[in-house]
Amino acid sequence: MVDALQKNPAWQGRRGPLLLVIMDGIGYGVHVEGDAVAAAVTGSLDKLRADCPHTRLKAHGKAVGLPADDDMGNSEVGHNAIGCGRVFAQGSKLVGASIAAGAMFQGKTWRDLMASLVPSGKCLHFLGLFSDGNVHSHIDHLKAMIDRAAAEGIKRLRVHVLLDGRDVGEQSALEFIDPFEDWLAGFKARGLDYRIASGGGRMYITMDRYNADWSMVERGWRTHVQGIGRQFGSPREAVVAYRQAQPNLIDQDMHEFVIAENGTPVGPVVDGDAVIYFNFRGDRALEITAAFEQDQFDRFDRGVRPKVMYAGMMEYDGDLHVPKAYLVSPPAIDRTMGEYLAGAGVPMLAISETQKFGHVTYFFNGNRSGKFDERLEDYVEIPSDLLPFEQRPWMKCAEITDYVLAAIREGKHRFIRLNFPNGDMVGHTGNYQAVVCSVEAMDLQLSRLRSAIEAAGGIMLVTADHGNADDMYEHEKKTGAVTRKADGQPRAKTSHSLNPVPCIVFDPEGKGEYLPALREGLGISSLAASCIELLGFQAPAGYDQSVLRFKGDNA
């Protein structure tokens, strides 16, 4: 149970409900070309921005608990942040805590891996960034898993190392390889066959992102999985040989190496093996994961894909649920907005279509199934269409709006939250025309909601959980120019953006209780305190600051 919310003695809220509209995947783009939000006809959204107090919120990186500010946000961490009003650790801190507590090794994925490999004697493979840079991975996480695998009876184990030289020293590879090889020798003394099997620089093999260069992933697949590449007797031999040929070679650019004995690779991936990708950060994990998991795959010729159990360190894309199996679950979150409002007796409605229903319920409530109070909470799922999103890009935004309009007229609920999935789910298709259509369809619903809230004397808070539709083309990092395919067409970008998202307060019966200039520089975790204040309560202690600035508040 949480402490009771305290009422705001200066303001009890409005006569109508508070409506929180989460426009999934709608941000403020930085590139003119490829910004489907800016290209769409959005008269309703434009009018809200012109007429209402508004600001921009961070929805990626550290603002939502990810390790670095070049980490994409996603719908899971986004709804966690919006719903709980604080930033919870994800990535490295979460993995470290899971290992320390032993939770990783008691989880279903690890247990399934052990149950498959120990009786069969098949090989456990680890693949990931081999350093302590702690941006994508940490070597200590790898070593902890190897220690545990040995304790549980894994006889054969192979490590496929991606050299860093980016988050650590440019030529520091041997500073990690040499002590690690010495450490692995201790397992050999115990009769265990544990070895480094392959490797190469992170910017030459495997760790591409944003679909920029799939040839990197293909080289990684051939190296790690098929055991095809330049052969060496040891990883040290490989590093020394490459540096002798090119003394200024940075680790991240080193070509592939395959460890072999008598011309035979020591660690290709074969049927019955298992593979753990031990990077916790998702942007450079999605493509190699797709190569392992996707049945329909046309990025390169994989040959005969080995039948293996594949797991990621974490879930890299919560919207698409990639990978299918992962080792570390989302953080344990408490004191959510929903729990506080239920404790205060506030009737609530949460609604979306199937694609995002779990986000406005489970993730919004801090990864919690069920309701805080059955009497006060209504959850409504509008069934999604069972066809590709680009074929019906308007999705179910009209049906969601129909239900919300009826709920507003009924007057039962004091707080309503909804998610329009269009900008995100259609954005993932890479179909620019469809994304523009999806944004425009959603914009039509904003006009309907605005009219209903105005008639009811309520407040509408319009925001998003992350960007996506605002950045639909791949761009050169240095110049910002659109990258193009051989036929001259732009390369589609299907991943989330790093752009800020809107925060607009439509309050037609406002009487100046708060200043029209909202706070700037905040993250989407500020929305929980903002909603609680708009409902006439004081935000709980420890919550991130609200976007609202009341009279006399100069902060």
What is the distance between the alpha carbons of residues 431 and 447, in angstroms, rounded to a whole number? 25
Q: 120, 99, 126: which is closest to 310 by C-alpha?
A: 126
What are 234's two structure tokens? Answer: 């040891």
* C-alpha span between 526 and 55 (Å, rounded): 12
Q: Please tell me which residue in 75, 98, 384, 530 is annotated as part of the active site.
A: 75
Cβ neighbours for 196, distance < 8 A, ≥ 6 positions apart:
158, 159, 160, 161, 177, 180, 181, 184, 234, 235, 259
Q: List helix spans (H) across 61-138.
A: 75-84, 92-101, 103-106, 108-120
* Among the listed residues 345, 304, 323, 97, the one whose alpha carbon sits nearest the alpha carbon of residue 221: 304
Instruction: Identify whether 17 is preceded by a cis peptide bond (ω within 30 of 0).
Output: no
CB 374 within 8 A of CB 356: no
428-to-23, 320, 421, 462 alpha-carbon distances in Å = 15, 9, 11, 22
Question: According to DSSP H, which parts of 246-374 are helical?
Answer: 286-293, 337-343, 354-358
Provide the 10 A C-beta neighbour count for residue 531. Answer: 24
Known catalytic residue at 497: no
How many whole angstroms separate alpha carbon 494 and alpha carbon 319?
Answer: 12
d(CA 333, CA 387): 34
What single-letter amino acid sits at 509?
E
| Nearest CA among 14, 9, 87, 80 for reference residue 538 | 9
Contacts of 498 (CB under 8 A, 6+ apart): 60, 61, 69, 70, 72, 73, 467
How many Cα atoms within 13 Å fall on the side-chain side of residue 465?
Answer: 33
Name residue, tokens 């670095």.
68
Beta bridge partners of 537: 7
Exposure string for 104-118, b = 16+ CB within 10 A, e = fewer: bbebebbeebbebbe
| Tokens describing residue 27 | 């941000």
- CA 429 to CA 389: how far, in whole Å? 7
Catalytic positions, written as ranges = 75
